Amino acid sequence: MTATPLAGRVALVTGGGNGIGAAVARRLSAAGAAVVVVDRDGAAARSVAADVGGTAVRADLAAPDGTRTAFARAEAVHGRLDLVHLNAGMLSGTPDLTELDEARYRAVTGVNIDAVVFGVRAAIPALRRAGGGAVLVTSSIAGLTGFDLDPVYAMTKHAVVGLVRALAPTLAGQGIRISAICPDFVDTGFLGPHRHLVTGGPVLTVDAVAEAALGELAGGESGRLLVLRAGGEPTPYVFAPA
């Protein structure tokens, strides 16, 4: 077999129990990486980990302790950590802020923002210890546009785009790449009861998103925001100068 850039690497994937995260975990394993599957649904994490011969970790990543536990487990089992895919996410499911449930709001910001901040914070020292590596964040096309179907979700995804852009120059000097994928609607169970938000048109497959994610983890450009649209090629997003 031909060696890949991912062979022998250790990767941690959050939200790895289903959807995009599960697809990425399977592709990483097929490419020769050891995979740590992290999800708040322990049974789902164990199922995917069993499929890929990886390690399952049940953790609430919106809490600092949950994130620390997941990253410590990865290094304890494998001795190092090279790649991190911060993929867990949640919709608020409402376009009308006057109808927004406060508990749902806290849950969405916890998963979509706090878990990314805590995840990057935990990843940096681990990747430094490994001599460098890569962090990939799953943002969304909603992180680059005015997504009026779910303004709170859009806000959170804009936030992580800003975090990636702000951190990229500094982390690059430490041998750590950080980038984001920004997919359009994806055909997963993620939408669940909020599928009514999809107004029609083609949707991405999880395999297409996972393929793009693997390319970024293997050798993407730091600070890049990769837009993924059904039927199109992954395209870096370019901001106009401020």
Q: For residue 156, what are its two tokens? A: 């959170």
Active site residues: 153
| Residue 235 DSSP SS3 | strand
Instruction: Note the pLDDT of residue 176.
Output: 98
Residue 166, amino acid: A
**Planar angle of CA 101, 162, 147, nearest 5 degrees:** 45
Pairing type for strands 225-228 and 235-236 reads antiparallel
Is pLDDT above 70 for 84?
yes
> Domains of the chain (ranges plus CATH)?
10-236 (3.40.50.720)
The half-sphere exposure of 104 on its side-chain side, counting CA atoms within 13 A, is 13
199 vs 26, more confident: 26
- Contact between 220 and 179 (Cβ < 8 Å): yes
86 vs 4, more confident: 86
The pTM (predicted TM-score) of the whole model is 0.93
Q: Average pLDDT for residues 115-143, to the nearest whole number?
A: 97
Q: Average pLDDT for residues 121-140, to the nearest whole number?
A: 98
Is pLDDT above 60 for 155?
yes
Q: For residue 177, what are its two tokens? A: 């790449």
> In Å, what is the CA distance from 120 to each residue of 28, 85, 173, 184?
20, 10, 16, 23
Between CA 117 and CA 143 the distance in angstroms is: 16
Q: What is the mean pLDDT of the chain?
A: 93
Q: Which of 83, 180, 75 is nearest to 134 (CA)?
A: 83
Residue 236, amino acid: P
Q: Is the dihedral of CA 107, 54, 121, 186 positive or negative?
A: negative
